[in-house]
Amino acid sequence: MNNKEFIAELSAKNDLPVKDTQKLARDVVDAMGDIFQEGEPLSIVNFGTFELKKRLERIVVNPATKQRMLVPPKLTLNFKPSSTWKEIIKNKGGE
């Protein structure tokens, strides 16, 4: 599903104009970005938790050239689904 389809579905479910739904979605994403910029985790009830984690500096080896390279530390955004969504996904996998 792409962004346009997602907005159209949200608009239909909430009986809102597409333009208002686009603005609402944009505002939600902007607010999430602000929270991540502050380094704070974001928990959404019955959905999951978004959290910034720091990956440490490490050494990797290029298998083709056997050359060792240093990978600098970086921040990554992780998502941990709620137990409700874990169950839904687990049960979908059996179909």
Q: What is the pLDDT of residues 31-77, one digit of tens each?
A: 999 999 999 999 999 999 999 999 999 999 999 999 999 999 999 99
The Cα–Cα gap between 64 and 86 comes to 38
Cβ–Cβ under 8 Å, residues 25 and 13: no
For 36, counting Cβ atoms within 10 Å of its Cβ (0-12 exposed, 13-18 middle, 19+ buried), the class is: middle
CATH 4.10.520.10 is held by the domain 42-95? yes
Residue 92 has pLDDT above 90, yes or no: no
Whether pTM > 0.85 for this model: the answer is: no
Ordered by start, the domain boundaries in the chain are: 1-40, 42-95
The Cα–Cα gap between 28 and 44 comes to 12
Using 50, 70 and 90 to split pLDDT, how confident is the model at 94?
Answer: low
Using 50, 70 and 90 to split pLDDT, how confident is the model at 91?
Answer: confident
